[in-house]
């Protein structure tokens, strides 16, 4: 087995046994990136010299000692570029560390590399990056999901041992499903957002990508906890999120939301997920049918609330203090207009315009206020469901990874790629996607072209119940070999 094929857990064991050094791990990763990233496009930048300096001083006795961790380019690392995938922030270098970066370093990890993403985390395919699209390692003609497509693709392509991403409406879980790795969205407030460039402040949450649930638990151990720099982080006890791993599912009740098994889902996805649910039952889980009756409103509610918050958050990018600035403006108004026109891409502009509209005088009550009321109903649906079960199980994405460019001219179809993930963000609960099989891709003429593409199974847990969520996901994961599969790049 090559060094870059190791899980975080296995790498840590070899580092502690002095079979490898942190520099060996970093050099193996850099060699792999040089070999395959020109095809995949997961990274935007890397500072190998700085990473090697950190690796040389790493304390391998710490929980993540000496392990390089890739960082989505929306999380600030002191002295490094942080573009959020946008030309608006192209010249910007971060003057501080995000809390999650400080916590990773305290656990001994080495932050390494800036990973590609949809601009300001707005997208489901990583085609909205201002720099280049990221490609799915299983089929380079297809998307890796988004907005954290670079983070997922890097793990799947063995260009990273683990990575951090952010999830606003499925941006960790959906690319994890499409790339065949594990992606965990913690409960809102579990992980500090200080140092995360905000898209929608009431929805965004930072979380890990890895090749195993144990690795995800190890990263969550490191980054969780109350942060006085983030008023939305909650003062909840930080568990050991790996402590329940290795158990079966006896005594666990899994809810199957009937609204998540709908017409129009790829039949291969449906079949794989149904087989995975039966596998969970064979491991001891009791299956319970439940209903989330307001699911049909989730996409509409999300694209009102998220765009409203995006409109407010992105107002700060005006070219005055940092970021892109238009050349030789005629006056202040021309400065603002041209700076934002030149700096933002089309999808970001679309969402700013929509968000500004729903917040405008005369429309606030009809759209934004009403959406917030329906959001409460969606949260209540989940609370009622959890009275009957311990976690929910459902598909992560309704489709296999689609072709690059296939949906760029159809925003609504693109938005529906997150139909099974959005509600968890609205409700603020935790969720994880694990591989549960493969489907066969179809060519442009509708015929199967023989390419295998990953399918993801999603578990949705109660607020702050990540330890049990990972126990459930881990029991399924360890009973199959889907998570061990690697693309032949």
CA 264/CA 234 separation, integer angstroms: 39
Residue 388 annotated among the catalytic residues of the structure: no
Question: Which two three-digit tokens encode residue 16?
Answer: 């502690």
Instruction: List the catalytic residue out of 7, 129, 148, 171.
Output: 171
**What is the DSSP pairing of strand 205-210 with strand 163-167?**
antiparallel
**Helix, strand, coil percent values for the chain (each to nearest 5):** 40, 15, 45
Question: Which two three-digit tokens encode residue 237?
Answer: 């006890």
Q: What angle do CA 116, 120, 124 make, to 5 degrees?
A: 70
Q: Is the peptide bond preceding residue 151 cis, with omega within 30 degrees of 0?
A: no
CB 394 within 8 A of CB 420: yes
CA 225/CA 233 separation, integer angstroms: 7
Alpha helices in 314-364 (DSSP H): 332-343, 346-359
Instruction: List the catalytic residue out of 7, 124, 125, 147.
Output: 147
Residue 397 annotated among the catalytic residues of the structure: no
Q: Which of 145, 120, 140 is nearest to 130 (CA)?
A: 120
Residue 129 annotated among the catalytic residues of the structure: no
Alpha helices in 229-296 (DSSP H): 267-282
CA 302/CA 307 separation, integer angstroms: 8
Residue indicated by tokens 């409406």: 169
Catalytic residue numbers, as ranges: 72, 147, 171
């Amino acid at each position: 087995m090559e060094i870059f094929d190791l899980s975080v857990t296995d790498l840590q064991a070899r580092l502690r046994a002095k079979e490898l050094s942190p520099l060996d791990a970093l050099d193996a990763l850099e060699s792999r990136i040089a070999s395959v990233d020109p095809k995949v496009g997961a990274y935007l930048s890397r500072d190998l010299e700085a990473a090697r300096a950190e690796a040389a001083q790493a304390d391998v006795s710490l929980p993540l000692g000496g392990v390089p961790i890739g960082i989505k380019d929306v999380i600030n690392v002191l002295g490094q570029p942080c573009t959020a995938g946008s030309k608006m922030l192209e010249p910007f270098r971060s003057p501080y560390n995000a809390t999650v970066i400080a916590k990773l370093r305290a656990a001994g990890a080495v932050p390494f590399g800036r990973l590609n993403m949809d601009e300001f985390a707005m997208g489901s395919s990583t085609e909205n990056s201002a720099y280049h699209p990221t490609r799915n390692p299983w089929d380079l003609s297809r998307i890796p999901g988004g907005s954290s497509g670079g983070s997922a693709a890097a793990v799947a392509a063995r260009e990273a041992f683990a990575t951090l991403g952010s999830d606003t409406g499925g941006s960790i879980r959906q690319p994890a499903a499409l790339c065949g790795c594990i992606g965990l969205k913690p409960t809102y407030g579990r992980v500090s957002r200080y140092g995360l460039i905000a898209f929608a402040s009431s929805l965004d949450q930072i979380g890990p990508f890895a090749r195993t649930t144990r690795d995800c638990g190890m990263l969550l151990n490191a980054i969780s906890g109350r942060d006085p720099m983030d008023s939305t982080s909650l003062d909840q006890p930080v568990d050991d999120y790996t402590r329940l791993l290795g158990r079966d599912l006896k005594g666990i009740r899994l809810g199957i939301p009937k609204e998540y098994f709908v017409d129009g889902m790829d039949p291969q996805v449906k079949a794989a997920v149904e087989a995975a649910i039966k596998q969970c039952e064979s491991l001891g889980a009791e299956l319970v049918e439940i209903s989330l009756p307001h699911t049909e409103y989730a996409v509409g509610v999300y694209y009102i609330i998220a765009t409203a918050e995006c409109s407010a958050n992105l107002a700060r990018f005006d070219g005055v203090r940092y970021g892109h600035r238009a050349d030789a403006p005629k006056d202040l108004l021309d400065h603002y207009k041209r700076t934002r026109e030149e700096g933002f891409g089309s999808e970001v502009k679309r969402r700013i315009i929509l968000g500004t509209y729903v917040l405008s005088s005369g429309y606030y009550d009809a759209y934004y206020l009403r959406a917030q009321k329906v959001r409460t109903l969606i949260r209540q649906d989940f609370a009622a469901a959890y009275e009957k079960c311990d976690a929910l199980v459902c598909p992560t994405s309704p489709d296999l990874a689609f072709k690059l460019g296939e949906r760029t001219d159809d925003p609504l179809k693109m938005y529906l790629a997150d139909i099974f993930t959005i509600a968890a963000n609205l409700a603020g609960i935790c969720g994880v996607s694990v591989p549960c099989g493969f489907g066969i891709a179809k060519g442009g003429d509708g015929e199967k072209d023989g390419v295998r593409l990953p399918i993801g199974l999603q578990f949705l847990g109660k607020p702050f119940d990540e330890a049990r969520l990972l126990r459930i996901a881990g029991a399924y994961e360890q009973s199959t070999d889907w998570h061990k599969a690697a693309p032949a790049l």
